[in-house]
Amino acid sequence: MKSWKNLFGLFDQPSAKIYKTEELLFEGLKRQETAAIQHLAWRARHMTFQMTMNVGLREDMAEDVLIEALEIFLLKIQNGQYVFQGFSPLTYLLEIVRRVAGNLARTKRGKTYAAFDEEFFALPDEDFLKYENRREQAEQLEIWIQKLGETCQKIVRLRYLEGFSDEEIIEQKMLPNFHSVDSLKTKRSGCLKKLRELARIELIQH
């Protein structure tokens, strides 16, 4: 297995190669494609910074946390301990990020170091329940999103599932039909209104 400790630019804009579905991204990760790893790291960057700061670590330690989490995640994929089941690899990676950050913070405070063994990263405790709940919520959200038009689907996914800011979406021309943040916000407001209505109807029916 490759070592990604020398892979620079994890928080930089990823390469031009786009993984249009979560399954394509997973296959890229399974093949250890640099573009796939950079793509996943780019999507995880905001939450990694936040989790790093939340546990009292310096902001400049975020990349180390992410590299450690990515190596663990890639190893689990290679060992067959993580398989694609229709959900975003990002969700599982962020669980590992949170644990790596928390573990490093405990070490910095002089507390017992928790080894990175299978038990530690198997998510067997209440964190697994949190992961499962988020996965179920993401699955339900995906069902509702698929009922929107193609443009609304892209807008909602980019902002809320992949974590891109409005500025990034416009600057990188992820949605070529939108040329300003204001126009994007206006369209998204309409998309979210439709999404809330879909959710309301389904919840009433159930």
Work out the average pLDDT over 123-138.
Answer: 50
* In the predicted structure, residue 111 carries a pLDDT above the cut 60: no
Confidence of residue 121 (pLDDT cuts 50, 70, 90): very low
d(CA 26, CA 84): 7
Work out the average pLDDT over 50-79.
Answer: 88
Regarding pTM above 0.85, the answer is no
Q: What is the pLDDT of residues 1-13, one digit of tens each?
A: 444 444 545 555 5
What is the percentage of the chain residues whose pLDDT exceeds 70? 72
CA atoms within 13 A on the CB side of 22: 18
Q: 135: buried, middle or exposed (CB in 10 Å: 19+, 13-18, 0-12)?
A: middle
Q: Count the neighbouring beta carbons within 10 Å of the beta carbon of residue 56.
A: 12
Whether residue 58 contacts residue 103, with contact meaning beta carbons closer than 8 Å, is answered with no
Confidence of residue 168 (pLDDT cuts 50, 70, 90): confident
Whether residue 100 contacts residue 173, with contact meaning beta carbons closer than 8 Å, is answered with no
Instruction: Specify the pLDDT at position 184.
Output: 93
Q: What is the pLDDT of residues 143-164, one digit of tens each?
A: 778 888 889 988 887 877 666 7
Mean pLDDT of the chain: 76
Helix (H, G, I), strand (E, B) or coil at 64: helix
d(CA 25, CA 74): 12
Angle at which helices 62-78 and 22-30 cross, to 10°: 80
d(CA 203, CA 183): 30
